[in-house]
Chains A and B, each alone.
Chain A
Amino acid sequence: MTLVLPIVIPLLAAALLLVVPARAVLQRSVALTASAGQLIAGLALFRQVQVDGYLVLQVSDWAAPFGITLVADVLSSILVVAVGIVGVAVGASSFAGVDPRREAYGYHPLIQVLLMGVAGAFLTGDLFNLYVWFEVMLMASFVLMALHRTSEQIAAAFKYVTINLLASAVFLTGLGLLYGSAGTLNMADLAAIWPARNEPVLDLVLATLFLTAFGIKAGLFPLFFWLPASYPTPPAPIGALFAGLLTKVGVYALIRVFSLLFRGGPPLPLQLLLWLSVATMIVGLVGALAQRDFRRVLAFNLVGHIGFTTIGLPLGTTAALAGSLLYIVHHILVITCLFFVAGVLLQLRRTTDLGRLGSLYRDHPGTAVLAMIPLFSLAGVPPLSGFVGKLAVVQGTFGAGAYGPGAAVLVVSLLTIVSMARLWDEAFWKPADAPPVSPRPAPLLLVPVAALGALILGMTVAAGPLFETTTRAAGQLLDPQGYIEAVLQSGLGRGE
C-alpha cells in the first residue's frame, strides 16, 4: 500500500480539484494537503525501504513479468521523498498568489498530475510503464508551460514539446526493438535475461537509443539546447518544479536502465556518457557565464550540473555512483530553491535581467541572506550541501582513476563559483538607482526559499548518514541481483 500512495495521492487530488468548487483558497489547500500527503507517504516508503531493502507490488495481482510491477529501492525512495519536498514547496508558494487565469484553467490539477508522473517514473519496474509516465509528465508540463499564452511562452513550449516528443519516439523505438528481441519489458526480468543474451550489435543500438532519449530528457550535451530556451519563461513555481524534477527523471532513467540492462554491455555508450557528462558540465557553465539574465544563468547552471549527476554511472564504482546520487539530492533542493529566489526577484523588481537588478542587499537584507544559502551552496562553498556533493563526486571520480574527468569536475566547480559570485554581485551587491517597484517581499514567497534553504543546511548536518544511504543505493544499483530476486520472487506474494 505504501508503494502506490505516492502515485495515488496526487491522482486523488487532481480528481478532487476538478470536482470541488473553483475557489482559490480551497483549490490551493487541497493541492498543498495532497503534496504534504505525498511527502509523508514518501518518507514512510523511505523508512520501509531502509528496513527491507526493496519493496515490490504487483499491480492488480498479475505475477511479475506479465503485469506491471512497482518497485522501490533506496534510490527510488530517496527521489520520491524529493518529489514530495518540491511538491510541498510549490503548493505552499501558490498561496502567495497565482495568475487567476492560470488557476481557472487547471493550474493545480496539472501540477498534481505532473507530481504523479514523476513519482510513477521513479517507482515503476516496467519499461513501457516508464514510457507512459514520461508521457504523463510531458503532457502536464506542456500545458503548464503554455497556459499563459504569451508568445514567448508558446514559443518556449513549442520547442520543449517538439524535442521531448522526439525523445519519446526514440525511446519507443528502443522499446520496440527490445521487446521484439527479449519478449519482455519488465525491468527485473530483462536484467535477468538480457546481459546473458550476448547480442553485441543490438546491445549497441539499444544503448545508443536509450542514451539519446534519456540524454534529451536529462539535458545532456549536445541535446540540452531546448532547456535554457524553455525553462526561464514560465512563472517561478512552475520553473522551480520543472528545474527541480523533470531533468532528474531523465538522469534516473539513464541510471536505472544502464545499471540493469547494460552492466557488462558495450563499453562504447558508457564511455560516451562519461565524456558527454564532462562536455555538459563545461558547456553548461561556459554558457552560464555568457548569460545576462538571472533565470537564464540558472538554466545553464542546471544543465552544467546535470553532468555531475551522470558522471558516476559510467565510472562504475560504488563511490563514484554514490557521489552522483548525493549530488542529485543536493541539486534538486538547490535548483528548486534558486528558481523560487528568481520568483522573489520578479516580485521585487519585475525583472530578472542582471543589468537592471542591483542593490538588493541594501534594500532587502533579509531576502538577500536567504538567497545567499542556495547561491553559495550551488557554488560549493563549505560547509553547504554543494560542497558535500561536489566533494563526493570529486572523490568518486579520482577514486575510479578518471583523472581527466576529475580535473574537469574541479574546473567546472571553479566556474560555478564565478557564475554564482557574478549573480550575487550583479543582483544583490552592485549599487543600482532603480527604484524598487514593490517595497517589501511577499512573506509567502519567501517561505519556500527559507524552507528549502533550511533543508540545504540540514543536508550539511546529515551529510554522513545521507552519503551512507546513497552508498547503499549505489550498491543496490551495481549489484542488481537483489532487485531481480525481489521482483521475480514476489510473483505470487500478496500485497507487499
Chain B
Amino acid sequence: MSPLILRTATRVLMPLMVLFALFMLVRGHNDPGGGFVGGLVVSAAYALLAFTSGVAEARRALIVDPERLLGVGLLVALFTGLSSALAGEPFLTALWWGGLGSPLFFDIGVFLVVIGVVLTMTFTLAED
C-alpha cells in the first residue's frame, strides 16, 4: 500500500492538475502551452493515481479506455486537417473565425492522443 501522505495529496492534486492541463490546452491557442504539454499533465495526474490507488482504480477514474482515447484524438486532429481541404485550402491549413482558429481543435486532438498514448504505456507497464 502506498504512503498515506501521497495518497491524500493525490486527491487534492489530481483535480488541480487536470484543471491546469485544460488551462494549458486553451492557453496554447495564443501563448506557450498547447495540447501536447496539457496531455502530459493529465497523464501525470492519472499516473499518480495509478501509483497510489492501483491501475484498476485509475482505469475506472479515466472512464474511457486509453486506446480508444488515442483513436478519438487522431480522428479529431484528422478532421480538423480535412476541414481545411473541404474549405478549398491545402490539407492542414489553419482556418480562422475572428480570434478563434481551427488549430485549437487540432490541439484538442493532440491532447487526447497524448493522454491515450502515455496512459496506454503507463498502465500496461504498471500492470505487468
Contact = CB atoms under 8 A, between A and B. Distances in A.
Interface of A: 1, 4, 8, 11-12, 14-19, 57-61, 494-495
Given A12-B78, A15-B74, A19-B75, A61 B67 contact: no
A4 B85 CA distance: 10
A59 B90 contact: yes
Interface residues of B, number: 18
Nearest to A493: B90
A103 to B, nearest CB: 14
A88 to B, nearest CB: 22
A480 B97 CA distance: 41
Contacts of A1: 85, 91
Nearest 9 Cβ contacts at the A-B interface:
A18-B71, A15-B74, A19-B71, A61-B93, A4-B91, A60-B92, A15-B75, A15-B71, A61-B90
Contact of B75 (A12, A58, A59, A61): A12
Given A14-B74, A58-B90, A19 B68 contact: yes
A445 B51 CA distance: 47
B71 A17 contact: yes
Contacts of A60: 90-94
Given A18-B68, A19-B72, A59 B78 contact: no
Nearest to B66: A18
Interface in B84-98: 85, 88-94
B3 to A, nearest CB: 35
A8 B70 CA distance: 16
A58 B85 CA distance: 12
Given A18-B70, A19-B68, A60-B93, A495 B88 contact: yes
Nearest to B69: A18
Contacts of A15: 71-72, 74-75, 78
A17 B74 CA distance: 11
Contacts of A12: 75, 78
A37 B69 CA distance: 25
Interface string B53-84: 00000000000000110111011001001100
Contact of A494 (B70, B72, B89, B91): B89
A18 B67 contact: yes
Contacts of B70: 18
Contact of A59 (B67, B68, B71, B91): B91
Contacts of A17: 71
B78 to A, nearest CB: 6
B71 A11 contact: no
Nearest to A12: B78
Contacts of B85: 1, 4
A59 B92 contact: yes
Nearest to B116: A18
Contacts of B81: 8
A58 B89 CA distance: 10
Contacts of A61: 89-90, 93
B106 to A, nearest CB: 10
